[in-house]
């Protein structure tokens, strides 16, 4: 694209950051690295700028955006107040992958950012480039993940380029994102209770160390079922992060039952002419024959799985996989965020591997 800047950050950092900051201040859109995933930023106060984010992503307009700040002094102009629990969480986890849903100060941001809610989601990213960009732009920066809506979130500048080149005003390339899954979105009560609306980079175990109690929004567990309540985080109701092929998660009582079921289904799919994929872990990946096999690292290292997940899902698309099966990882630590994203990518389709099948085959 003529005039489409991709600023690779190196010795010219200051020049790139100032140019990108000026684009944001002038009402444009810039993709930038954070410690979680790449975000697509715009001035949160500027409705025309925020509308460019929705247009570029193809994002449903009832899904509100997270506002990114570089200094807690920016909070005063955004929110009506911060309670003691929220203050404690900010002190512990900012800058970092924690987003707080706070009462919005009327008129502080475009209504397109909050999707008409009386709250605004705020976070301070733990990334040198993101913080410097927000400072250079000198405004609160609304930024969803910088992917086309429905695609896996970007963990490399190249992913942003694949999805959004030509639809946005520039990309800051700061290398691979660290955590690999998005921030944890929470609401916190004055009484110390913390409700997790979206699992993410800060784990429930970390929150529990500071909160009177931690609970998951009940809508998370039942998302996808007919009687499920509306989730408090509107974005959680969409099928996100989906690869182009059909993806299904296989679960069972034993790892051997799961592996046997996966291989049987892969063989049957291959015989039908499907291009097959399997998403597994180092401990099991050698068991499978498929056209594309992706490991998320050791089952004992959920932070590695989080780091590799989205790029892994994109690999299936690159290889043209049409039928993909995935193993689960333990729902602990960062594994909770990995399983949340994997279930959403699979549209909550789960195959259960029975032990009987294993014995009789
Ligand atoms: O790590 C992240 O959070 C990344 C990076 C770029 O910072 N951003 C991100 O933004 O994941 P996005 O737009 O993809 O996800 C925002 C999530 C959605 O699930 C949305 O529904 C929820 O936050 N959200 C935003 N405002 C909210 C509000 N006022 N109340 C409840 N949920 C809210
Ligand atoms: Mg997103």
Ligand 1 atom nearest to 201, measured from its CA: 1
DSSP 335-357: HHHHHHHHHHHTTT-EEEEPHHH
d(C-alpha 361, C-alpha 359), whole Å: 6
d(C-alpha 220, C-alpha 204), whole Å: 14
Instruction: Residue 315: count other Cβ atoms within 10 Å of its Cβ.
Output: 18
Q: Which ligand is nearest to the CA of 100?
A: 1
Q: Which ligand is nearest to the CA of 117?
A: 1
Task: Please say whether the beta carbons of 125 and 37 come within 8 A.
Answer: no
With a 6 Å cutoff on the Cβ, whether 340 touches ligand 1 is no
Tokens of 104: 């919005």
Ligand 1 atom nearest to 240, measured from its CA: 14
Q: How far is the CA of 286 from the centre of ligand 1 (A)?
A: 37
The pick from 234, 341, 344 for probing ligand 1's pocket by mutation, whose C-beta has the most ligand atoms within 8 angstroms, reads 234
ipTM of the complex: 0.99
Q: How far is the CA of 144 from the centre of ligand 1 (A)?
A: 6
Total-model pTM: 0.93
pLDDT tens-digit profile, the chain (361 residues): 446 788 888 767 899 999 999 999 999 999 999 999 999 999 999 999 999 999 999 998 889 999 999 999 999 999 999 999 999 999 999 999 999 999 999 999 999 999 999 999 999 999 999 999 999 999 999 999 999 998 999 999 999 999 999 999 999 999 999 999 999 999 999 999 999 999 999 999 999 999 999 999 988 876 545 455 566 666 655 556 778 899 999 999 999 999 999 999 999 999 999 999 999 999 999 999 999 999 999 999 999 999 999 999 999 999 999 999 999 999 999 999 999 999 999 999 999 998 755 544 4
d(C-alpha 271, C-alpha 354), whole Å: 22
**Rg, C-alpha atoms of the chain:** 21
Q: How far is the CA of 56 from the centre of ligand 1 (A)?
A: 17
Q: Strands of 246-252's sheet, edge to edge?
A: 292-295, 276-280, 323-326, 246-252, 350-353
- The DSSP secondary-structure symbol of 79 reads B
Indicate the burial class of 14 (C-beta count within 10 angstroms; 0-12, 13-18, 19 or more): exposed
Q: How far is the CA of 157 from the centre of ligand 1 (A)?
A: 20
């Amino acid at each position: 694209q003529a005039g489409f800047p991709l600023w690779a950050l190196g010795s010219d950092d200051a020049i790139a950051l100032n140019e990108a900051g000026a684009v944001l201040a002038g009402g444009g859109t810039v993709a930038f690295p954070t410690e979680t995933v790449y975000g697509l930023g715009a001035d949160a106060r500027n409705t025309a700028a925020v509308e460019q984010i929705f247009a570029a992503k193809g994002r449903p307009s009832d899904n509100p955006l997270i506002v990114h700040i570089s200094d807690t002094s920016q909070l005063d102009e955004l929110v009506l107040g911060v309670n003691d629990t929220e203050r404690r969480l900010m002190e512990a986890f900012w800058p970092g992958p924690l987003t707080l849903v706070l009462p919005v100060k009327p008129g502080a941001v475009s209504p397109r950012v909050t999707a008409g809610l009386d709250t605004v989601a705020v976070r301070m990213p733990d990334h040198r480039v993101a913080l410097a960009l927000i400072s250079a732009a000198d405004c609160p920066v609304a930024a969803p993940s910088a992917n086309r809506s429905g695609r896996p979130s970007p963990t490399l500048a190249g992913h942003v380029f694949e999805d959004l080149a030509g639809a946005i005003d520039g990309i800051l390339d700061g290398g691979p994102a660290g955590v690999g899954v998005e921030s944890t979105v929470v609401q916190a009560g004055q009484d110390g209770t913390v409700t997790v609306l979206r699992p993410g980079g800060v784990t429930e175990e970390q929150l529990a160390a500071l909160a009177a109690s931690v609970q998951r929004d009940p809508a998370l567990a039942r998302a996808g079922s007919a009687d499920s309540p509306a989730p408090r985080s509107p974005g959680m109701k969409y099928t996100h992060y989906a690869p182009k092929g059909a993806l299904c998660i296989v679960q069972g009582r034993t790892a051997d039952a799961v592996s046997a079921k996966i291989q049987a289904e892969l063989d049957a799919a291959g015989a039908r002419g499907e291009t097959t994929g399997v998403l597994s872990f180092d401990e099991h990946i050698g068991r499978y024959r498929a056209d594309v096999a992706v490991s998320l690292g050791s089952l004992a290292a959920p932070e590695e799985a989080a780091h590799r997940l989205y790029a892994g899902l994109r690999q299936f698309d690159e290889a043209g996989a049409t039928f993909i099966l995935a193993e689960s990882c333990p729902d602990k630590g960062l594994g909770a965020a990995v399983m949340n994203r994997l279930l959403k990518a699979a549209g909550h389709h789960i195959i259960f591997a029975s032990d009987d099948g294993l014995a009789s085959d």
